[in-house]
Structure formats: C-alpha cells, structure tokens
C-alpha cells in the first residue's frame, strides 16, 4: 500500500495498513478499530483522508460489476477506477454521462469529494449515484438508495469518507455515444459562456499571463457539426496538445476532431499514462456560474502572483445538483482549477490570496484539493453544512472515521 498520496505532498500518518480480501474481513477490521480511513488511488492533495490509526485499501475486495439494464444502473466496487469501469461499460453498449479529466481515480474517492468533469448540462460524478453500500463504525453493512432514502441519501453521497467505508456504488448509465475532441486557441474572455454552451463538454485553459484564454478543449457529439474555423474568435490548434506546457501530447486522449468512444474523449488523459504533470499541487474553487465573469475579474489583481507558481488553470462548467456537500449544491457553477508547481511554501500564500479575492462569491473548494478557507466561511457557503455535521455525529458518534481536518471543519 502507498505511504504517500499520488502527488507525494502528504505522508500518511497511519500506524497500520490493511488490504482485506473479503467484506467480512473489512467489517471485522472496522468494528475493531478506534480510527480508520479508506484510501483509494491517493489523488487527494490534503489530509481529509489521513488518519493516525488504520488505513485500509479496498483494492483486494471482490471486483464484481453488476449491470441492470432495466433500471439503467451499474453497481461497482468503490475501489474500481473510472477508466476500467468505462471500458467495461462501453463493451456492453453503455456509458456514464460524464467523466473527470483523468480516468485513474477510484469511483469511491471521486464521489466522496464531489469530483467532476465539464458540461453545462451535466452534473458532477456524484450526481450519477443511485445507491451506496457502506460499512458503518460498528461493522454493520448499510445500503442506502436514492429513491428510498431521499434527503438522508443526498447528505451521504458526498460524504468525505466520514460516515463509513463505502464498499459498492450504484451509478446511472446512458447508452454509449461517440465524441469528437478538438483544441481551439486564443478565446476572448467575454466569449467564455458561449464556449461552454458550444459543445457537450468544454474545458478552457489559461495561464493568467494575458487577456485571452489560451486553449479551449471542445468535446462534441460525433453527429454534431464541427465548429467553424473562426469559432468565437479562436483558431484551430495545429496538432495535439497537452494542457500543461512542455508535457507530451501522447499522454492525452485523441484530438483533431477524430470521432471515438465517449470514454476515450471525455477525459483529457489516457489511462496508461501519467495524468497532468505528476509533480504538482492542486486547488479548485466553485463559484456561481452567473457570477463567472465577475469572479475571474476579481482574480486579475493577483494574476501577477498566480502566474509564477502556476502550471495551468482550467475553467469548467458544472450543472447544479441536490447533494448536501457537493460543490455544485443548488447552483450551476464555474469551477476554477489551479494546477500549481510542487512547492507548498511558494504556493500556499497565493492560495490564500486567491481565496480572499473570491470570498464575496461564496467559493466552495473541491474537498480533495489544497485550500485554507476558514470553517465559518465554508459553513456559510453550503445551505446544508450544519445538517451534514449532524449526520456525521449520528453515524459516527465515537469518531471512528474522524481526522484532524474533519474535526476542524465539522467540530463534534
């Protein structure tokens, strides 16, 4: 098992590491532990998933995947990577409505933190969850369902690993579809909304070094007409691109408008290759989509501080949902994602400056990335924040799944 997260900036403090091979073994482990957390692929940049007790990988549990064509759902192990699930689904004629930029992440970890892709009519990955199976603090196995458990279920999906060890997840599926991906250069900032509306999934990249947004990655359904050569004042890229300057384009999914399966176009990165740059820190903030232009303008005065410690900034649209701790709860959002250099001493003061500039837009951070917003400000940004704290105390009164960071943001 890894002793550090994927980026290497967090060294886990766990005393013991476990990889159970059966559900019963996991249940006994949870029931006998005073502190335990599950770890997935380690693509988290903070200590929400860390513990001084037991750290458990679910990768050794049975890997059965169950498709229900009548309900249009698939039930999968929480430890399964999205890239592996996507290939399995596509072979059977089905798809997920959206994927994150990298297919390397586990389903359980992505759902628990509100991870997302892009698409103004598509929700984040957690919004596709129809059911959860989890081992609670006393070792019991609990199944919850969207249709049956309603509001409580909405509080449990983006659960930060704080309510139990999620073992299996049921997701909505749709018929498989093809996409074309192309890269456009030099988008005027005032055309950002039009760009998001121009395709099924759109990601915009900038370096905060000039007035125009550097690249637009356009992922459109194969049956739709391609954008014209002068689309929104941009020009077509002359070859494949990588979002991070200087990184090899072969790490990325096919571009240049070549049609292909949804799971080979929605992610930016290919499963067998290093995603992003590998040596990095990440932060991300979700602000109301209606305030996108204002929020970006609010960052302009600190652009001179952002640019020197930035590898790339990605802007994405995410549709609203009803999940209590989702960054997109109750509002369509603009996600402002920063891939920083791997130097915490240089980056953290800039993160604080970004948060201060965005403060009036009630920014909601991605739960798995680097942020330092005060607990009171986060509590004000989520209408159901206090309700989640009550749910946490109800499901885990002894603090079995607690961490230092959870205690900071959700005091007992």
By the 10 Å C-beta count (0-12 exposed, 13-18 middle, 19+ buried), 351 is classed as: buried
Q: What is the pLDDT of residues 9-68, one digit of tens each?
A: 989 999 999 999 999 999 999 999 999 999 988 889 999 989 999 999 999 999 999 999
pLDDT value of residue 199 = 97
Instruction: Report the percentage of the chain scoring pLDDT > 90.
Output: 93
Give the H/E segment covering residue 368.
Answer: none
DSSP state of 44: -
The mean pLDDT of 316-339, rounded to a whole number, is 98
Same domain, 170 and 88: yes
CATH code of the domain in which 165 resides: 3.30.465.10
pLDDT value of residue 196 = 97
> Do residues 293 and 302 lie in contact, with contact meaning Cβ atoms separated by under 8 Å?
no
Same domain, 37 and 89: no
147 found inside a domain: yes
Same domain, 70 and 158: yes
Bridge partners of 94, per DSSP, are 175
96 found inside a domain: yes
In the chain, the number of structural domains is 2
Q: What is the dihedral of CA 152, 157, 161, 164, to 10 degrees?
A: 50
pLDDT at 2 exceeding the cut of 70: no
Same domain, 144 and 77: yes
By the 10 Å C-beta count (0-12 exposed, 13-18 middle, 19+ buried), 241 is classed as: buried
Q: What is the pLDDT of residues 350-392, one digit of tens each?
A: 999 999 999 999 999 999 999 999 999 999 999 999 999 999 9
CATH code of the domain in which 44 resides: 3.30.43.10
Banded pLDDT at 220 (limits 50, 70, 90): very high
Same domain, 114 and 144: yes
Distance CA(207)–CA(324), nearest Å, equals 32
Query: What is the domain range of residue 145?
Result: 66-175
Instruction: Report the percentage of the chain scoring pLDDT > 70.
Output: 100
252 found inside a domain: no
pLDDT at 227 exceeding the cut of 90: no
314 found inside a domain: no
Same domain, 51 and 90: no
Distance CA(169)–CA(75), nearest Å, equals 5
> CA nearest 247: which of 208, 276, 205?
276
Angle at which helix 146-156 crosses helix 385-395, to 10 degrees, equals 100
46 found inside a domain: yes
Taking the CB of residue 278, how many other CB atoms lie within 10 A of it? 13
> Do residues 343 and 309 lie in contact, with contact meaning Cβ atoms separated by under 8 Å?
yes
pLDDT value of residue 383 = 97
22 found inside a domain: yes
Mean pLDDT of the chain: 96
- Please, where are the H alpha helices in 71-196? 82-90, 107-113, 146-156, 192-196
Same domain, 26 and 71: no
Distance CA(208)–CA(211), nearest Å, equals 8
Banded pLDDT at 1 (limits 50, 70, 90): low
Backbone torsion region of residue 118, taken as left when φ is above 0, otherwise alpha when ψ lies between -120 and 50, otherwise beta: beta
What pTM was computed for the model? 0.96
CA angle 333, 339, 343 (to 5 degrees): 140
Question: Which of 175, 198, 217 lies at the terminal end of a domain, its last residue?
Answer: 175
Banded pLDDT at 273 (limits 50, 70, 90): confident
Count how many residues are written for the chain.
Answer: 412
Question: Which of 175, 192, 207 lies at the terminal end of a domain, its last residue?
Answer: 175
137 found inside a domain: yes
Q: What is the pLDDT of residues 135-191, one digit of tens each?
A: 999 999 999 999 999 999 999 999 999 999 999 999 999 999 999 999 999 999 999
pLDDT value of residue 68 = 98
Distance CA(179)–CA(246), nearest Å, equals 26
Same domain, 106 and 160: yes
Taking the CB of residue 167, how many other CB atoms lie within 10 A of it? 22
Same domain, 116 and 171: yes
Same domain, 89 and 159: yes
């Amino acid at each position: 098992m890894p002793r550090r997260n994927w980026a290497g900036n967090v060294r886990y403090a766990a005393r013991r590491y476990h990889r159970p091979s059966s559900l019963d073994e996991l249940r006994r482990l949870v029931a006998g532990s005073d502190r335990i957390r599950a770890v997935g692929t380690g693509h988290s940049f903070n200590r929400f998933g860390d513990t001084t007790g037991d750290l458990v990988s679910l990768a050794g549990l049975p890997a059965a995947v169950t498709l229900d064509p009548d309900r249009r759902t698939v039930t999968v192990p929480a430890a399964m990577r999205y890239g592996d699930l996507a290939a399995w689904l596509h072979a059977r004629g089905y798809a997920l409505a959206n994927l994150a930029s990298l297919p390397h992440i586990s389903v359980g970890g992505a759902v628990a933190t509100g991870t997302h892709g892009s698409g103004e009519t598509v929700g984040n990955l957690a919004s596709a969850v129809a059911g959860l199976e989890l081992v609670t603090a006393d070792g019991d196995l609990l199944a919850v369902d969207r249709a049956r458990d309603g509001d409580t279920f909405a509080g449990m999906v983006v659960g930060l690993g704080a309510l139990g060890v999620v073992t299996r997840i049921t997701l909505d599926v749709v018929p498989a579809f093809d996409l074309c991906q192309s890269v456009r250069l030099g988008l005027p900032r005032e055309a950002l909304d039009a760009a998001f509306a121009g395709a099924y999934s759109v990601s915009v990249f900038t370096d905060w070094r000039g007035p125009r947004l550097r690249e637009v990655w356009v992922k459109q359904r194969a049956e739709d007409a391609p954008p014209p050569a002068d689309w929104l004042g941009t020009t077509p890229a002359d070859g494949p691109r990588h979002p991070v300057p200087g990184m090899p384009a072969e790490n990325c999914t096919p571009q240049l408008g070549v049609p292909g399966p949804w799971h080979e176009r929605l992610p930016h990165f290919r499963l067998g290759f290093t995603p992003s740059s590998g040596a990095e820190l990440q932060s991300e903030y979700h602000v109301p989509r209606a305030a996108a232009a204002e929020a970006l303008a609010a960052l302009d005065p600190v652009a001179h501080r952002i640019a020197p410690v930035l590898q790339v900034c990605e802007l994405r649209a995410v549709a609203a949902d009803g999940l209590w701790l989702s960054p997109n709860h109750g509002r369509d959002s603009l996600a402002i994602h920063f891939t920083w250099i791997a130097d915490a001493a240089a980056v953290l003061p800039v993160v604080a400056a970004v948060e201060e500039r965005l403060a009036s837009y009630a920014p909601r951070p991605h739960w798995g990335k680097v942020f330092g917003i005060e607990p009171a400000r986060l509590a004000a940004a989520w209408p159901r924040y206090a309700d989640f704290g009550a749910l946490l105390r109800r499901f885990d009164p002894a603090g079995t799944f607690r961490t230092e960071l959870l205690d900071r943001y959700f005091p007992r």
